[in-house]
Amino acid sequence: MSLSLLLGCSTTPQTIVKTEVIKPDIPVQARPAQLNMLDVTFRVINQDNLPEFLEEFSDPELVFIGMTVKDYENMSLNVADLKRYIEQQKEIIIYYENSVK
């Protein structure tokens, strides 16, 4: 009986495995429009130049925004870190765009 099982397996057709690489057709999306940053002017106001500043900007809707030097440094570091992050993300996007071409 075991002889018939062994012979039965030898007479079955062989299975052929063929590997084929299929490259996905992923369209590359257009990049978003470049940022157009608007100019912002920072003025340093202290006790010495406050009267001149108030004369120059006598707008009734004048608003003061103040921050310490440390807060300004922190804001500057945050903007630099944001720029670094965006640049790294851009490099990752370029890598994937080139990978799917």
pLDDT in tens, 19-44: 998 877 777 778 778 877 778 777 78
State yes or no: pLDDT of 6 exceeds 80: no
**Contact in structure between 100 and 26 (CB atoms under 8 Å):** yes
User: C-alpha dihedral over 60, 61, 67, 69, to 10 degrees?
Assistant: -60
Q: How far apart are CA 63 and CA 61, in angstroms?
A: 6
The pLDDT tens digits for 74-99 are: 999 999 999 999 999 999 988 888 88
State yes or no: pLDDT of 54 exceeds 90: no
